[in-house]
Amino acid sequence: MNKAHNIRNLVITDKIMYLEVDGKKYKMDITKQSERLANATREQRERFEISPSGYGIHWPDIDEDLSIDGLIGVEHSSPFKKTTA
């Protein structure tokens, strides 16, 4: 299976998420990314699942999903996207 991203080293402190995606390190303010994540307990933030495809992260305790593309500001083109002739 091809992965959209290689996600490593996800750590969340009180308000900052540290994330390594495709070998590049990111630091982001979680209050700007997700109100649910910002209001979650430490235990809820620490329990997450990275999608097998590398497309996103899911926090089951707070029912939150964030796409990696959205977090790091990139856009992948869909192989199913129609082109106009």
* pLDDT, tens digit (0-9, with 9 covering 90-100), for 26-76: 999 999 999 999 999 999 999 999 998 889 999 999 999 999 999 998 876
The count of domains in the chain is: 1
Range of the domain at 44: 7-72
Residues 6+ apart with CB under 8 A from 56: 50, 65, 66, 67, 68
- 53 part of a folded domain: yes
| The pLDDT value given to residue 82 | 54
- 46 part of a folded domain: yes
* pLDDT, tens digit (0-9, with 9 covering 90-100), for 14-38: 899 999 999 999 999 999 999 999 9
Which candidate, 71, 34, 41, 40, places its Cα nearest to that of 55?
71
- 40 part of a folded domain: yes
Q: Above 70 in pLDDT, residue 78?
A: no
- 84 part of a folded domain: no
- CATH for 44: 3.30.2020.40
- 83 part of a folded domain: no
- 28 part of a folded domain: yes
